[in-house]
Every structure is written in structure tokens, then in C-alpha cells.
Amino acid sequence: MVEIVFLAPFIIGIIAFFLPKEISRRLLVGIGAIHLLLSLLLWKNRPEAIFKSYFAVTPEGLLSLLVISLLFFLISIYTVAYLKESEIQHENIFTGSMILFLSTMTMVTLSDHIMVMWIAIEATTLASAPLIYTHRSAASLEATWKYVLICSVGIAMALLGSVLITLSMDIGNVDAPLSFSALVIVAKTLDPMWLKAGFVFILVGYGTKMGLAPMHTWLPDAHSEAPSPASALLSGVLLNCAYLGIFKTNKIMHAAGLNDFSGTILIVFGLMSILAAATFILKQNEYKRMLAYSSIENMGIIAVGTGIGGIAAYGAVICMIHHSLIKSSLFLSSGNILLGYGDRFIKNTGDMVTRMPKTFVAFFSGFAGISGFPPFGIFIGELFIIVGAFKTGHYIAAGIFILSLCVIFAGFANQVMKISFDDSDSNKIIGLKEKASMVWPQYILLLTSLILCFYMPDTLYQTIIDAVTAIGGGFK
């Protein structure tokens, strides 16, 4: 009964549109808890789906699902407090869309059929569009327009890519279901030319959604205009969902022996994203946009790691998990900063260390984690990727990679120092009491990331290894 994990939030999400806002707030936390429980059950039992040709439980899907569940639960606790502090019109649309968004993302992680995957990823775009337009300002309208149009057009490319893969089956005279797991088995008999063409279109399509440069232009707008809990979801888990589409297609490419081709393209797109992030992060004057560019950087890192393969692919998955944990905590903290200072520009903040000490702790340690300081997990992931790059002789790629990381660290650190320690206008009143429910979710996210570096449960480790072995990753 795998399907219930996304059907339950789907039904409750629709109901939430019509309930009074007090109840739908409670519903948000409730469904978060239920979803987390269901995901853990799925981890434990790994049941088969009812519609076997459309859905399946895969290692990479389970990893993303657990991240989604955990993040959504913690974010929903934060959201309740956030909604009390901020004035949002039509709050029901916000909470309802959040729950629907959870449902669609869960569907992405469980889908096995190529076209169902497409449907689910397009559905995430549609469910999250109302979240970005929550504030109903001209800027948020522009961000929503860009988001829906660019992502829909991008994902249309992925649909074309999926169609081309079916063509590669027809030409290769393959009779198999159109699912990722079946295609991996028959990959060798697929027509290589059309398979390659399909992969390129799928990479461009889902890459748009994942925020790979040069298709990333919607991402900073959408992530900065959405309310902070929604930004945390968009950045923390939605990008992973798009990556999952690429990851699964890459599995077919690996099984067909075309991983050199797909790897090279992934590395090129990944490096472009890291470079684009490095260029724009240096002169950012809004903190939420800065975090958004950092997401583009991390997606680039993950793409590079996946492209290199071997130990670097393991590093990429580690980076993916820890990026989700740390970046969502950063976005939640940025929500506190926004509520506290009432301003989105870095120059109008400052002296956070004395004025909002609890948020400062979360924000600053999040910054340390995301820029790759030990003992946080991104450090380990990036280390694996760099070692993998040297081992496989990708010296130029490794050079660009390390250089860009340094530039991004410098730019990021500069802005964080300004927010944390610069003198601010002391007459300015901080409009936020730092309640426990508005800082503890961040602490828990960061602690989880920290604990995972020192102690990783065996089943988690084994699932990661199972996932990356299929794209030629691991420690051999």
C-alpha cells in the first residue's frame, strides 16, 4: 500500500482549503507527523505498490522521501508559529498548497514509470505556484509568472526527452514496460542515439527545475519571494525531486554503457551552475537571494559528483542530504530575520548576535555547514567529490570546482558577517520574540546533519550504497 503515502496528503490538502485557518494549521502539523510515520514504515517494510507498473520503492526514492518527510514535519511546526507572526491573506490557500505540495513531491519519489514521473514533477510546479504568490505583491507576481512559465517550458523538454526514450525502445525492438526499473534491465538493447538524445532533453528539462545554470533564472526570484517556510521546502526538497528524475535516467544510461556521455554533460552543467553562483553571490544585497544562489551552487556540486561517478557519486548523495537539512534551516532562520528586521536587504540588518541571539546561532552554524566546514556533512561530501575527480583524472574540473567554492565562501562569509556583527541602527525595534518553535526546528535540522556525520545508521548507509551503485558509484 505504497500509494497511501501521497494519497493521504492529497486528500487532506484539498480538505484544508475549506477549513477555518486554526484547524488547517493543526492539520499541517498533523499530516507532517503522519507522513513521517508512514515514510518510516515504508523504510522498515519496503512493501510493493498496488499499481506496480507506475510506482515502486527504490533506494534513491526512499532517501528523498525520508528527507522530505523529516523536513516537512519540522517546517510545519515552524510554519504554525510563522503564520501567527505574519499577516497572510487567504491563509487556507497557503496551508492547502503546502500539503498538496508535499503530496506531489512524495509522488515523485515513488514513481517508477517515466511518464508518471513527468506528471508528478509538473504537478509539484503547479502545487507550489500559489505558495510563491502568497504575499500578493507585484514582485511575487513576477516571480510566480517566471517560475510557472520557465519551469513548464523546461519540463515540456523533459516530456520530449521521455518520448524520445520510448522511440529508442521501438527502434531497438524492445518489449518492456516504460518504467525506469524495467528499462535498466533492457538498457543494452535500446537504440543508443535516441537514448542519448532523450537523456539530453531530460537533463535540460529537469535541470531547469533543479536550478542548473543557464536555466536557473527563475530560482532566485521564486525562493526570495516565497514566504520563508515555503522557500525552505522549495530549496530543501523540491530541487532534490528534480534531481531524482535526472538520477533515474542516468541509471539507464549507466546500464546502457553510456555513462561517459551522460557524465560529461552532467559535469559541464554542474560546473556552469557553480560558476554562475560564484559570479552572482559576490554582489548580492538580499540575504534570501544569497541563499538561493547557494542552492544553485549546491545543485551544481551534486551534478558534478554524479557526473564523475565512483566515490564522487557517493559524495553527491551525501551532499544532497546535508544540503537539504542545512539549507532549509537557513531559510527558516532567514524568515526570523525578515520578521525581526522587517527588511529583505542585508544593509538594513546587522548586529544579529546581540539582537536575535538564538537565530544567530542557527544562522551562523548553518552558514558554516553550507560552506563546507567540518564537522558538517557538506564537507565530507565535497571532499569525496574532489578526491573522486582527482582519481578519475578530471583535473580541470576539480580546479574550477575548488576555485569557485573558495569564491563562494568569500562572498557568503562577507554578507553573513555584515548581518551578524555590523552596527545596526540601534533605534530599530526588533519585531520578533524568538519563540522556541521558531528556533528549535532549525537546531534539530542542524543537529541531524551533525549527527549523521559521526554516526550513520547501517540501513541508511546501505540504502545510499544501493542507490549509487546503480550509477557506478561507491567505494570500489
Report the interface residues with other proteins, using CB under 8 A: 54, 113, 115-116, 118-119, 122-123, 125-126, 129, 133, 138-139, 141-146, 148-149, 152-153, 156, 159-160, 163, 166-167, 169-171, 178, 220-221, 224-225, 280, 283-284, 289
Residue nearer to other proteins on the CB measure, 104 or 334: 104
Residue nearer to other proteins on the CB measure, 148 or 303: 148
Query: How far lies 68's CA from each of 36, 42, 101, 233, 435, in Å?
Result: 9, 13, 11, 8, 24
Q: How far apart are CA 240 and CA 151, in angstroms?
A: 15
Residue nearer to other proteins on the CB measure, 194 or 360: 194
At 191, give phi and psi (nearest 5°): -70, 120
Picking from 211, 199, 90, 88, the residue whose alpha carbon sits closest to that of residue 146 is 211
What's the min distance (Å) between Cβ of 93 and other proteins?
11
Q: How far apart are CA 212 and CA 205, in angstroms?
A: 10
What's the min distance (Å) between Cβ of 198 and other proteins?
12
What's the min distance (Å) between Cβ of 372 and other proteins?
24
Burial 221-244 (b: 16+ CB within 10 A, else e): bbbbbbbbbbbbbbbbbbbbbbbb
Amino acid at residue number 271: L
Residue nearer to other proteins on the CB measure, 220 or 369: 220
Residue nearer to other proteins on the CB measure, 78 or 94: 94
What's the min distance (Å) between Cβ of 149 and other proteins?
6
Q: How far apart are CA 292 and CA 331, in angstroms?
A: 9
Query: How far lies 70's CA from each of 86, 208, 323, 413, 438, in Å?
Result: 24, 25, 14, 28, 16
Query: How far lies 368's CA from each of 158, 200, 297, 322, 323, in Å?
Result: 35, 35, 15, 12, 12
Residue nearer to other proteins on the CB measure, 92 or 152: 152
Chain centroid offset of residue 40 CA: 20
Q: How far apart are CA 401 and CA 94, in angstroms?
A: 38
What's the min distance (Å) between Cβ of 135 and other proteins?
12
Q: How far apart are CA 337 and CA 419, in angstroms?
A: 9
Residue nearer to other proteins on the CB measure, 173 or 427: 173
Residue nearer to other proteins on the CB measure, 180 or 314: 180
Residue nearer to other proteins on the CB measure, 44 or 283: 283
What's the min distance (Å) between Cβ of 418 and other proteins?
18
Cell matching residue 353: 548576535
What's the min distance (Å) between Cβ of 476 and other proteins?
35
What's the min distance (Å) between Cβ of 344 and other proteins?
12
What's the min distance (Å) between Cβ of 148 and other proteins?
6
For the chain, the residue count is: 476
What's the min distance (Å) between Cβ of 253 and other proteins?
19
What's the min distance (Å) between Cβ of 242 and other proteins?
15
Residue nearer to other proteins on the CB measure, 221 or 351: 221
Residue nearer to other proteins on the CB measure, 135 or 428: 135
